[in-house]
């Protein structure tokens, strides 16, 4: 089954149904597969391979400012 649990204890502003970004960047926050892998004690490749093909992906191009 496709399940994930995310602890949002420290984000009281979130409400059921709110959209969140788990990997990527939004406004000034950035969290990538390398960050997640470091916390889990694995390599980034393992994080990305663990995301099944039923998960919706949104690809964006980097801006010229980056």
Any bridge partners for residue 28, and if so which?
none
Q: How far is CA 20 from CA 9, 24, 36, 57, 65, in A?
A: 14, 10, 16, 13, 24
**For position 3, what pLDDT does the model report?**
79
Instruction: Tell me the residue range of the domain where 50 lies.
Output: 1-66
Domains identified in the chain, total number = 1
Could you give the CA distance from residue 54 to residue 20 in angstroms, rounded to a whole number? 18
Any bridge partners for residue 29, and if so which?
26
Residue 58 has pLDDT above 80, yes or no: no
Give per-residue pLDDT as tens, 8-48. 899 999 998 898 888 888 889 899 999 999 999 999 999 99
Q: Are 1 and 11 in contact (CB under 8 A)?
A: no
**pTM for the predicted model, two decimal places:** 0.64
């Amino acid at each position: 089954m496709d399940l994930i649990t995310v602890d949002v204890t420290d984000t009281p502003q979130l409400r059921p149904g709110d959209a969140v970004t788990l990997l990527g960047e939004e406004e000034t926050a950035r969290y990538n597969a390398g960050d997640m892998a470091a916390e889990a004690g694995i390599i980034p490749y393992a994080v990305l391979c663990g995301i099944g093909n039923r998960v919706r992906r949104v690809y964006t191009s980097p801006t010229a400012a980056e």
